[in-house]
Structure 1
């Protein structure tokens, strides 16, 4: 029941497979197939995989999961049908490597397409897109158009900042970058200041922070760039267009080190039974056609140098990404998580 051809995937969009699902493997491992295990939502990757099949004739079989991807592949062992892993966040990519379910890729096409700062030095994961971890600011109540992450601890913002859980992987990556740049002691002092400036306990998702700004509950929010694009173009829930219209995107540290970015990425599964096809898919996803699709449909920044961003993303303003390699930032994920607990960030400003 986990099999789905490229033509049938749309009908299974709601059928994310939980970690406790049966470990029965895909049956389709014939020539001309590549099996994808992914955390990404179906509507985001289906256009890419359909374009790959149209170009190469290679069919894709996809297993969508909402958790437990790495553990599932590990449990399947040498018999795992997984060929390619597609996921988001540097933490998940590093976790797949640390769980021993990936293998290194050293491919001339991929290496030429993807800058080194978005690739694992040992080749176990490769970034495909970036998303800035930015500040959503009220158009009505925030006059300034520049900001730094450091400034979020300035007392002038007391009671005016909203954010999702500090333990969410997007924020852990941001906090890890602060440790990488400033060291643990200074980063912890900064986090205490951020906590003191919160308008409420951390909660909700990134879109909820824009909604709170629209409602006047706070003036600043921390969120990813692509959510702004999703809100701006949400025809099913048009109220989200109002949330997006109430905010402007500020790219922190644009005038110095640059804005922290995270990635979506891919990895080659350790026991990929269709390795040759898997590499072809990975080459395709790193190339111009797929990068353009990512940019247009997902409101993400392609990592292929020179690739165009969508008109929606252009409307946010220009991003200057932090050049610190993500592999370096990832080293501090554990320290960042422990710091969130130590500071009591999840308890909100009054604790």
Structure 2
């Protein structure tokens, strides 16, 4: 049985070579999914189709049992302004060549979201970002505003949908989908599972990792820091975005701006941090929370995303509710003033979190769904 997966996978990130954020890809859960597909026994012939912006020849390589096709010269921003008409044309050609029994498309914020609507057989759509929900808390770039308007059509065209969290599934249901989405957690990369958390009790460091934007709550973080000018701990910021200039202009002491880092530099930063702060206003995951938890970092989290289910207040982190600057400042002060609490929260539920975010579970879940969709009774 042939499965064609349309996704933004980084081929050079397979087999333990993942470079992570800053390495040319954002879908950091996909390399380990492909690796697990390779390791597990299953009856499916899997072909991945991705796109790249650079001009040149298309690429077609085989790594182990899986095939990876790269379509070159693909401008996703322009394509969305064309309502994905160009993507549909190119994807139809690939589908005609492969003749898959099932298509699996990843992301309504990517042109791949058009695939279920152009394929006549069973289609699976995995939601990566809930653009309709995101647009309610922050202004999106023009092409993503267009994508958000197309999102209801994209999700309704799919035979079946998966989301990485119950929060994400709730947002998708509001769009009038045919069936209730399946919740499939995206596993953390083994590099994070293998890392040892070693915070220094004499060097209190809190980490923020993500886009420096309103949706991620970075403005709230800056406002909260202004409420605790006499803090004795350091905030280290991993990531870039439109609010970086505003954050630097605030002139707050004790902030180190690291920019976007590859995993080879991100993991050492996480290993020495006391905790991670994630004041997001809307997020299907986020992945960095899973990476933090499989390592052992406690997380200061909001309830506005999948992380509401990952972090239990007073158990493996602290919840900020309601999400505002005073509440966030209070949570950071409580965590960063008590190293014993840091260790207790970090170790609590660690084994359960490591099991929950094991990428093997993600792969098994998708293989099960493929089998259910291709079973004779499903056709």
Fold in common (TM above 0.5): no
Which category describes the TM-score, using the shorter chain as reference length?
0.3 to 0.5
TM-score of the superposed pair, with normalisation by structure 1: 0.36
Q: Which has the higher contact order (CA 8 A, sep 6+)?
A: 1
TM-score of the superposed pair, with normalisation by structure 2: 0.34
